[in-house]
Amino acid sequence: MKSDSIKLGAQNAPHRALYHALGFTDEEISRPMVGIVSSYNEIVPGHMNIDKIVDAVKIGVAMAGGTPVVFPAIAVCDGIAMGHTGMKYSLVTRDLIADSTEAMALAHGFDALVMVPNCDKNVPGLLMAAARLNLPTVFVSGGPMLAGHVDGHKTSFSSISEAVGEFNAGSITLEKLAEYERKTCPTCGSCSGMYTANSMNCLTEALGMGLRGNGTIPAVYSARIELAKRAGMAVMELVRKNIRPRDIMTEKAFMNALTVDMALGCSTNSMLHLPAIAHECGIEINLDIANSISEKTPNLCHLAPAGRTYVEELDEAGGVWAIMNELSKKDLINLDCLTVTGQTVGENIKDAKNLDHNVIRPVEDPFSETGGIAVLRGNLAPDGCVVKRSAVSPKMLRHEGPARVFECEEDAQAAINAGLINPGDVVVIRYEGPKGGPGMREMLNPTSAIMGMGLGESVALITDGRFSGATRGACVGHISPEAASGGPIGIIREGDTVLIDIPANKIELKISEEEFSARMAAFKPKQKELSGYLRRYAELVSSGARGAVLN
């Protein structure tokens, strides 16, 4: 065991003295030390129940012969951070989480880890740490929130975001907005649609790093406590078999995750996180791989915000394993990949059934023959950009219109709220990329305002920032290179024509080549005065096309 080097022999008596100071018995000291990385806090709804999950994991570890030891990881609530300076600190925490977990695990010589994350950057940050540390590791999330209910319809976080736009447009009253506010998020857990948190927790299953139900069993169900106990027991089996994350997170496993991503219609943020996790495994994923997988992968689910079903219904329908079983019927899943169950993907999913064809379409009758995410390229985004195709109205799959240019999210939001955006416009928000923001803020408020004000089928939005998983509509993010790095999004002028052609995977600024070259030659990106962590982050972060990993 790794921890033996700090526990055994006379020379390690000082270490054992400190274990005794913690109240450990000799028996506990002699067993494998299992670090339980707890993301519990009292500010993130997806994390307020994690103390219960952690307690259950501890029981499972102890039952299986290990010594559980809890240490923390931070987490930002993207919803609370949305629309202000706080959102600059969301993506950047992914690397803080990975770095701090690495420091704690190696400083204390843990033999194995159980990661207990839930929300947006916290899941990929801990997956990055797991790959980097390569200790036997199992993931068990805090679980999704139940959907809310307003006027007999289920609701999720995107419902309240769009309700603000409806109120500003005069479509609903202040009283109705207050009802949405009270009823949209009725329980703890990660917000109930296929947003980034639930996307990443489902993709953790697809990667093989989480047990069945990790991404879908609701936070408030007792079954999640049982899952946590099984995760604690499972990690001890991985210790005995010496199965490690890089044995599981192979290139084939990432292809499985990308395939499930396309079938599920996950958040576009997965196109930042999967490449970053793969990078820690020594595997490079570029955006072109996503399009090649999307071309052959049917989209089987339309969960909120793309449709009217929610993660609780996905769980009832059979969950991630049922989706993988459907996909395997077309030989789209690598069945020989190892997983944290100690068995292969094929062994895991062979009996998984699709119990509701309204939630998970059969592979022979998909929502579409191509996947839920598309990568676009063109003179405006030579390194690529990303759109959640499954959440775009058919009317907006191809759109050409005049650019309305804004240098930050706040300016765009003010213009939308003031009714200055017209049908047909293409809203451009720049200097919000990984370096330019810095931190690549999510643009949920402007996209929700556009939808809420009834412009969702006539207005597009493009940005070098990114979008919440709650965003829907013709919203194109991660435009790379970003403006702050000299990208062409920085040369767009008010009134220029922008073409977005999602079926053709194309995005273009419709000016002559001569004019384009002249503008690029004269372009000098704006610089922001930065300090503290954001300054260091801006200096080190790479393009969104590379997953915004730190150089």
> What confidence tens digit (pLDDT) does each residue in 277-289 have?
999 999 999 888 8
Instruction: Report cis status (omega within 30 of 0) of the bond before 438.
Output: yes
Decide if 150 contacts 223 (C-beta within 8 A).
no
Q: What is the mean pLDDT of each run of 10 residues along the chain (551 residues)?
A: 88 94 96 98 97 98 98 96 93 97 97 97 98 98 97 92 90 96 96 95 98 98 98 98 98 98 94 96 89 95 94 98 98 98 98 98 96 95 95 95 97 95 98 97 93 94 93 95 98 98 97 97 95 95 94 89
Q: Is 472 helix (H, G, I), strand (E, B) or coil?
A: coil
Alpha-carbon gap, residue 482 to 526, rounded angstroms: 11
Q: For residue 321, give every residue at least 6 positions away whose Cβ sits within 8 Å of its Cβ, in sequence order, or none.
A: 205, 212, 348, 349, 352
CB 96 within 8 A of CB 141: no
Say whether the peptide bond before residue 446 is cis (omega within 30 degrees of 0): no
C-alpha to C-alpha distance for 492 and 532, rounded to whole angstroms: 31
| pLDDT tens-digit series, residues 196-241 | 999 999 999 999 999 999 999 999 999 999 999 999 999 999 999 9
Q: Which of 511, 479, 477 is nearest to 496 (CA)?
A: 511
Q: Are strands 398-406 and 497-501 parallel, antiparallel or unpaired?
A: antiparallel
According to the model, what pLDDT value does residue 2 have?
81
- HEC profile of 371-429: CCCEEEEECCEEEEEEECHHHCCHHHCEEEEEEEEECCHHHHHHHHHCCCCCCCCEEEE
pLDDT at residue 540, as a whole number = 96
* Measured distance CA(399)–CA(192) in Å, rounded: 30
pTM attached to this predicted model: 0.95
Q: What is the CA radius of gyration of the chain?
A: 23
From the number of C-beta atoms within 10 Å of its C-beta (0-12, 13-18, 19+), residue 47 rates as: buried
Clarify whether 38 is annotated catalytic. Answer: no
Q: What pLDDT score does 361 carry? A: 98
Give the chain's mean pLDDT. Answer: 96
User: CA 474, CA 501: separation in Å to the nearest integer?
Assistant: 10
**547-551 long-range contacts, CB within 8 A, separation 24+:** 547/271, 547/272, 547/273, 547/274, 547/275, 547/276, 547/278, 547/279, 547/285, 548/91, 548/272, 548/276, 548/434, 548/440, 549/275, 549/276, 549/279, 550/95
What residue spans of 169-296 are helical by DSSP H? 174-183, 196-207, 222-241, 245-248, 251-264, 270-280, 287-296
102-111 tens-digit pLDDT:
999 999 999 9
The Cα–Cα gap between 334 and 339 comes to: 12
Q: Which of 110, 112, 93, 108 is nearest to 39 (CA)?
A: 93
Cα–Cα dist 154/193, whole Å: 10
Tokens found for residue 7: 């526990």
Residue 461 CA to residue 499 CA, distance in Å, equals 11
Q: At 429, which amino acid appears? A: I
Query: Which is it for the CA torsion 5, 123, 75, 479, positive or negative?
Result: positive
Look up tokens 């969104």; give the residue.
544
Q: Which member of 100, 468, 480, 543 is catalytic?
A: 468
**Distance of alpha carbon 225 from alpha carbon 208, whole angstroms:** 20
Residue 491: both structure tokens together: 């040369």
Our measurement of the distance from residue 480's CA atom to the centroid of its chain's CA atoms, rounded to an integer in Å, reads: 19
- How do beta strands 426-429 and 460-463 pair? parallel
Distance CA 187, CA 84 (A): 25
CB 175 within 8 A of CB 246: no
Distance CA 219, CA 315 (A): 12
Pairing state between β 137-139 and 112-116: parallel
* pLDDT for position 78: 94
Please tell me the distance from the alpha carbon of residue 286 to that of residue 251, in angstroms, as a whole number: 12
The pLDDT of residue 86 is 93
* SS3 assignment for 513-533: HHHHHHHHHHCCCCCCCCCHH
Q: How far apart are CA 466 and CA 454, in angstroms?
A: 22
Cα separation of the two ends of the chain: 33
* Dihedral sign of CA atoms 506, 400, 389, 460 in order: positive
Nearest-angstrom CA–CA distance, 68 and 339: 22
